[in-house]
Amino acid sequence: MTEQDCLFCKIVSGEVPADVMRESDRTIAFRDINPQAPTHVLVIPREHHPTAAALASSDGDLLAELIREAHRVAVADGVDETGYRVVFNTGSGAGQTVFHVHAHVLGGRGLGWPPG
């Protein structure tokens, strides 16, 4: 997939609409279209990077910003004290379907461990 075809780049540009709940200079957080928990928000960098590992290599500060924004999402939805999970699916075998790095922020219900 090229960046021109990237769904999340299109959300960044506004070409594809999304339920945006937070924005920072370098990130956007929007609600997942198919939520798996009462809080299910995706936090993405505005820049295109395919995976968390690729982003860690090229811009570790931006990866840290995703984690800080994930916490702000949890605070905004009131799930920071009950607990929340931040997930980076990496690779198709782990369920990654959009190759623009995104942190899933999940909370608002009990989350089993290990994940199914």
Could you list the active site residues? 102
Q: Least separation, in Å, of the C-beta of 3 and Zn ion? A: 5
Q: Least separation, in Å, of the C-beta of 78 and ligand 5GP? A: 21
Which option in ligand 5GP, Zn ion, none does residue 98 bind, with CB closer than 5 to 8 A by kind?
ligand 5GP
Binders of Zn ion: how many residues, by CB under 5 A? 5
Q: Give contact residues for ligand 5GP (rule: CB under 6 A).
A: 7, 16, 18, 30, 32-34, 42, 89, 95-98
Q: Least separation, in Å, of the C-beta of 16 and Zn ion? A: 11
Q: Which of 51, 83, 88 is nearest to 67 (CA)?
A: 88
24 close to 65: Cβ distance less than 8 angstroms: yes
82 close to 75: Cβ distance less than 8 angstroms: no
Measured from the CB atom, the residue of 4 and 34 that comes closer to Zn ion is 4
Measured from the CB atom, the residue of 24 and 89 that comes closer to ligand 5GP is 89
Token pair, residue 11, equals 């959300």
Contact map string, positions 37 to 66, toward Zn ion, x by CB under 5 A: -----------x------------------
